[in-house]
Structure 1
Amino acid sequence: MIYFVTVNYYSTEQIARLLQSIKNTTNIPYQFIVINNSPEDAAIYDLAGDETLIIDAGENLGFGGGCNLGIDWVYKQDPQGIVWLINPDTVIKDTPDGAVAFFDSYPEVSILGTTVWEPTGKLWFGGGQFLAATGAILEKNLLSENRLTAAYVPCDWVTGCSLLINLRNFQNCPRFDCQYFLYYEDFDFCRRYDREGHLIAVTDRLAVIHYPSSIINRDLYQKYNHSTYSYLLTMQRYASQWVLGWRFARLLGNALLLLLTKPAVARGKLDGLFRYMKSF
């Protein structure tokens, strides 16, 4: 069975659109789970129904923390199930029905990314690559580069915008690291489980359309605070100390340059840098 998990942060209208797209395209049993990271958003409870469960987080746990609530719930109910983490600002492109058949045919895949398209028809995500020597975290069209004839292409990471977890491959419930409040938690999730021997892959047999939301840009200070901290944490874990130092210096220099022209962005980056230094 497929369990869709999405995290709400004042996104009720987008989630209603996503849910409707699932209802319109799905012909197999599913459960739609909303983790409510914004308790004041009472309208989200209007979506509750037989196939839609609302779980109140009590506070904003961030993306990874919210996903953990949903994954934990599913794992307790059905440790052989398929979890489909999906952003509120997406809709199903064709049909999600092939997800069950995919994992039946390719049970070796533990974490699967779908293609993600923009409303214009441009590919937004087609696979992730990591260059440890430089710390570069890249989004690439691996499907096109590999002239996909097989069902999937192995890759370094996939986006949490549309990410499937094959629970039957995990002896314990897979979880995001809550040190990541926002940004790079999907990358860390993939790299950690890759180190444990799990196969990470991307496919074009499942797809979503992504309508970028403006919610995250309402507070530029918080956006760059979290992204800067999470990026440095990621470099510490997966790149060399030299790369970490180089990336830290580049972020610091860029933040100082932006103080006069983009003060909110600059302050967010500086506080992210200082928060990282205080943590280690």
Structure 2
Amino acid sequence: MIDAVVVSYNSRDTLRAAVEPLLALPGVDVTVVDNASSDGSLESIADLDVRALESGRNGGFGFGCNLGAAAGDAEYVLFINPDARISADDLARLSAVLDSSPSVGLVGPQLREEDGALIPSMRRYQRLGSTWATALFLHRFVRRAAWANEIIHEESAYSAPASPEWLSGACMLVRRSVFEALGGFDERFFLYCEDMDLCRRVWASGSEVRYEPAATARHEGGHSAPRTSLFAILAESRTAFARKHSGIAIAMLTRLGLAVHAATHALVASAARRPAHRQGNVAALRAVVRARG
């Protein structure tokens, strides 16, 4: 059995398309956690046979995932975004990885857009070098350099199974015993970095993170950059990740790099007459400066 958890926040337009295919999968129980949506998200699936939970507040993605996972008891837990879809065959391929490899605690599929375009889902941890490279736009000139880029862009890397540092949380199947032993997602990450943090803790626990290209999930808008209104939340999460997983000196230098990133990108956005991006980066700069610790 597999418990599928979908966290919704104002996801009415995509929620039904994500949930309905899951209901057709054998051995899958579906839980939808609604984080105090204002668009009537749960109304769009009221006629479907799902466990619908109203969280009562928008506590963030990890908060919703933990709530949904706790409602079930299946051996494996599928976390999937409300704008993503996976078929029975593809889910079976992910499950087979956990069945055959006890050392694997978390496995993710190949992600593709609706038009078939590959979405790079294998990532490297946030590091001091990548933070400053992005702040100074160096990653655009050394796109393939591991020290400068956190996303693995080379399409050839996605043709074979791999064990990356972390995987996008848009769709991941997790062994419940591992997930519960780790205490689930760290709810201090409201949005962004909670998947990076979970994968890092999976590795630290002695289990493996696995990428499985034989399985594919479709993710609508997976190539899209964060909305400008979320730049501040992203900056806060990256600051928190550095504080949690780095020494004091590295965490402070990372925080400085995130502040420089916000400042340089605000200047470029202003010069390019992109007011929304400028405002988003100014908000991110304030968030980094005001972050605790």
TM-score by length of 2: 0.79
Among the aligned pairs, what percent are the same residue?
23
1:184 aligns with 193
| Structure 2 residue corresponding to 1:54, chosen from 35, 52, 57 | 52
Structure 1 residues 81 and 39, CA gap change in structure 2 (3 angstroms): same
Number of equivalenced pairs: 269
- The answer (yes or no) to whether the contact 1:7–1:87 under 8 Å persists in 2 is yes
1:259 is displaced (CA, Å) by 4.3
* Runs of 4+ residues deviating >4 angstroms: 48-51, 213-217
| Structure 2 residue corresponding to 1:29, chosen from 13, 23, 27 | 27
- Amino acid corresponding to residue 232 of structure 1 in structure 2: T
1:73 aligns with 71
**193-202 or 228-237: which moved more?**
228-237
1:191-215 CA-partner distances (Å, limit 9, x unpaired):
1332232311111232211111899
- The answer (yes or no) to whether the contact 1:255–1:269 under 8 Å persists in 2 is yes
| Structure 1 residue corresponding to 2:178, chosen from 169, 172, 181 | 169
1:125 is displaced (CA, Å) by 3.0
1:271 aligns with 283
Q: Secondary structure at the match of 1:60?
A: coil
- Amino acid corresponding to residue 38 of structure 1 in structure 2: A
1:254 is displaced (CA, Å) by 2.0
1:208 aligns with 217
- Amino acid corresponding to residue 252 of structure 1 in structure 2: A
- Amino acid corresponding to residue 206 of structure 1 in structure 2: A
TM-score by length of 1: 0.82
Superposed counterparts of 1:138-177, under 5 Å? 138-140=150-152, 144-145=156-157, 148=160, 152-170=161-179, 172=181, 174-177=183-186
1:133-182 CA-partner distances (Å, limit 9, x unpaired):
5135533268833862xxx4211001110011101335636322222211
1:231 aligns with 238
2:4 aligns with 4
- The answer (yes or no) to whether the contact 2:94–2:212 under 8 Å persists in 1 is no
- Amino acid corresponding to residue 275 of structure 1 in structure 2: A
- The answer (yes or no) to whether the contact 1:252–1:270 under 8 Å persists in 2 is yes
1:55 is displaced (CA, Å) by 0.7
Provide the rounded CA distance (Å) in 1 between the counterparts of 2:43 and 2:108.
29
- The answer (yes or no) to whether the contact 2:235–2:287 under 8 Å persists in 1 is no
1:185 is displaced (CA, Å) by 1.7
RMSD: 3.0
1:268 is displaced (CA, Å) by 2.8
- Structure 1's unaligned 5+ residue stretches are none
